[in-house]
Copies of this chain bind each other. A is one copy, B any other.
Amino acid sequence: MFVHSTQIRVRYGETDQMGFVYYGHYALYYEVGRVEAIRSLGLTYKDLEDQGIIMPVVRLEAKYTAPAHYDDLLTITSQIVEKPDRFIVFDVIIKNQKGQILNKAKITLCFKDATTGVQMRTPNSITDKLEPYFS
């Protein structure tokens, strides 16, 4: 299993008039979580795209347990529980500065050739880096 944590601070523009982070903006937080998780492996999603591979999200499941508020310092923990193959799945937990769990999500992405749109297996550049975490 691979686990990585990163932090972000809630922006004013991400709140809504309930005074909570709008439910759609968590997608950006999950993105930051998985991008930084990949960066910690010594890769970047940007490099992947430069090599002609895109990673669209195919499935999202999210549970909103407690609201995030303006200026909260959130910890986003992203886990890859299963060795990715045709899909890569990130299990995400978001906590606030008090350690309270606010949100749990599962995001499934696939890999596609950016030019043809054809789906492909997880590139070796990723599986090689993840190998140590699944053996």
- Interface residue ranges, A against B (CB under 8 Å): 11-13, 15-20, 22-28, 31-32, 35, 44-46, 49, 54, 56-64, 67, 70-71, 114
Contact = CB atoms under 8 A, between A and B. Distances in A.
Contact of A18 (B11, B56, B63): B56
A58 B18 CA distance: 14
Given A12-B16, A17-B17, A60-B62, 10 more contacts: A11-B28, A11-B35, A12-B31, A17-B49, A24-B25, A24-B28, A44-B71, A46-B70, A49-B70, A56-B67
6 contacts: A11-B28, A20-B56, A44-B71, A46-B71, A60-B62, A61-B62
B18 A16 contact: no
A22 B105 CA distance: 17
A84 B19 CA distance: 25
